[in-house]
Structure 1
Amino acid sequence: MATDKRKVMLGAVLLVVSSALILAAGQLGAGVPVFAATLAALGLAAGALLVGTSEDRRPV
């Protein structure tokens, strides 16, 4: 079972950065535009997809 380390690393970076942006949006209230929170949600989805498809087997 080979794991594509680039996909895992990129997915992990996307998950961490997007999570930080979402948490910052919650803490700052209206300080972060809705557009940034939307991009953060898409980043979470992309990061989860990259991590989930990093192995040779069929993704869940």
Structure 2
Amino acid sequence: MTSRRTEGDGESSSLESEKESLNFKISPQFKKEFKGFAVSEGISMTDLLKEGFALSKKKRQK
């Protein structure tokens, strides 16, 4: 199942100045794998993170 995300999925469009950075450390290997997967799916790393969070949230609320 391949999913392509578009602008505005699950979030109202925000001005760039209204966004904040997440600052946390990950291993170089995890970053490489995460980025590679995002590229292979044709989505940004940010969109992949948002999608993963939404799926995890949905699963844990059951």
TM-score by length of 1: 0.34
Q: Comparing both structures, which one devotes a greater share of its residues to helix? A: 1
**Rg larger in structure:** 1
TM-score by length of 2: 0.33
